[in-house]
Amino acid sequence: MPFDWREFLIIAHELRNDQREGVQRTCLGRAYYYVYNLGLKMARQMNWPEPRSSLHRALWAWCQNQSNTNIKRLGMWGNEMYAFRIDSDYKDRPISDPQAVEKQLKRARDFEVCVAQQNKKTPPPAL
C-alpha cells in the first residue's frame, strides 16, 4: 500500500498549536511536502517533462505555465508554500511571519480542494 502523503498534513494540523520553533518549522515543511507530492503526481499524470534538478521550482513554474487557471493557481500556491519551506528548513533566522503555519495549512487545504476539482473528485474532508 503506497504511503498516503496526507498523513503529513494531518501531522502538521495536530502540531499546529505547539509553539516550539522546531515544531512550527516541522509543520511548515510537512504541509508543504503534502502539496508538493500532490502536485508532482498530477504533473506526472499530465506528462510533465521532469527535469533532473531543481524539481520544486520547476514543478511550480510548469504549473504557472499552463493555460488552465486552476493549475496556474496551484503553481502560485505551491510556490508560496515552498518559500515557507525554504525558510523553515534552511534559515536559522526566526520565522518572521507569526501567521506562517496558519497560512500554510489554509493554503494546503485550498490546494487539495483545487486538485480534487481538477481530477473531478470529491475533496477529502477538511481537518
**Cα–chain center distance at 83:** 10
102 in Cβ contact with 28 (< 8 Å): no
Stretch that binds other proteins, among 1-9, 23-31, 39-47, 79-87 (CB under 8 A): 79-87
Q: How far is the first Cα of the chain from the last one, in angstroms, to the nearest whole number?
A: 23
65 binds other proteins (CB under 8 A): yes
Provide the minimum distance between the beta carbon of 106 and other proteins in the complex, in angstroms, as a whole number: 7
- Shortest distance, CB of residue 71 to other proteins, whole angstroms? 11
CB 32 within 8 A of CB 81: yes
16 binds other proteins (CB under 8 A): no
- Among 16, 48, 64, 124, the residue binding other proteins under the rule CB under 8 A is 64
**Residue appearing with cell numbers 531543481:** 54
Residue 126, interface with other proteins (CB under 8 A)?
A: no
* Residue 28 CA: distances (Å) to CA of 43, 45, 118, 122: 22, 26, 24, 25
Q: Which residues of this chain interact with other proteins, rule CB under 8 A?
A: 53-62, 64-65, 69, 72-73, 75-76, 79-80, 82-83, 86-87, 89-91, 96-99, 103, 106
